[in-house]
Amino acid sequence: MDAVQVFWAPDGASMPSLGARPLVDVTDGDTPNLRMPVRMLSVDTPEVTADTAARTAKVDERFTRLVEWIEQGKAPINPGLAEFMVPKLKTGKAGSLQFEQGQAASAFSKHDIATKLARPSGKPRSMFIRIADAPFDSNHRLLAYVAPDYSAQERRTIPKGRRPTFNLDLVTAGHAAPFVIYPRGTGGAGPGSSPPAGPPRRRPGSGPRPAGYRAVVLRPARPAAEPA
């Protein structure tokens, strides 16, 4: 048999820094457990990159200077956008308001996820994610819809409208705006598609998966086995 050469050059990406422990542990030799960020598809919340109230005050000052530049014609901005933005920036609180709203969105999301992943028995639910064909954004965050992984019995007894994704929860609670960051909605419906109310299930033999997405279940991490 002639020798066979296989040439394979997979794309690579540097994982974003998440504290001092991007590597949680190693289960098997070929199974490292990693921490990584997920960018929720179809929603956008205010940023909290200012980090502190003091830094937010500096952002307010910069927005005030920006208003002056816009009114003096020094800032290249569409007149319609300027008409919309200037009154908001003139309040002197635009940066502070965004920071406060971003913190509120973060607090809501933490509580929402913790509450819905908790079973009445106390055993945590697994996490269900539906990822896009292009799984990472330009910051190497996983693009996904995220929801609790409900059991078959729960899916039979809990109406679909009461099993929304965490993405949709942010929108309905007023903490996020719908924001399409991937060109296809569920089933390849096209730009502008709404995030699904809950992750659709696929039974064996039920046909192909929705175009543009892949489903994964993330189970609660188990501690690595102690050496004998």
Residue 72 confidence (pLDDT) above 50: yes
Predicted confidence band at 71 (pLDDT cuts at 50, 70, 90)? very high
Identify which has the larger pLDDT, 145 or 180. 145
| Averaged pLDDT for residues 140-150 | 92
Amino acid at 31: T
Residue 222 confidence (pLDDT) above 90: no
| Averaged pLDDT for residues 53-65 | 90
Predicted confidence band at 1 (pLDDT cuts at 50, 70, 90)? low
The per-residue pLDDT of the chain, averaged, comes to 79
Identify which has the larger pLDDT, 120 or 113. 113
Task: Identify the pLDDT of residue 69.
Answer: 93
- Kindly report whether the global pTM for this prediction surpasses the value 0.95: no
Can you tell me the distance from the alpha carbon of 113 to that of 166, in angstroms, rounded to the nearest whole number? 7
Task: Identify the pLDDT of residue 112.
Answer: 97
Residue 183 confidence (pLDDT) above 60: no
Tell the residue number behind the tokens 């965004």, with chain if given.
98
Q: Which of 24-38, 109-123, 124-138, 178-192 has the lowest mean pLDDT?
A: 178-192
> What confidence tens digit (pLDDT) does each residue in 163-179 have?
999 999 999 999 999 98
Show the beta-strand stretches assigned E in the chain: 23-26, 32-34, 38-40, 43-44, 127-136, 142-148, 177-178, 213-218
Residue 224 confidence (pLDDT) above 50: no
Cβ-in-10-Å burial (0-12, 13-18, 19+) of 62 comes to exposed
Tell the residue number behind the tokens 């390849």, with chain if given.
188
Residue among 17, 212, 19, 13 nearest 131 (CA): 212
Predicted confidence band at 180 (pLDDT cuts at 50, 70, 90)? confident
Residue 86 confidence (pLDDT) above 90: yes
| Averaged pLDDT for residues 114-139 | 89
| Averaged pLDDT for residues 13-38 | 80
Identify which has the larger pLDDT, 136 or 16. 136
DSSP structure class, residue 160:
G
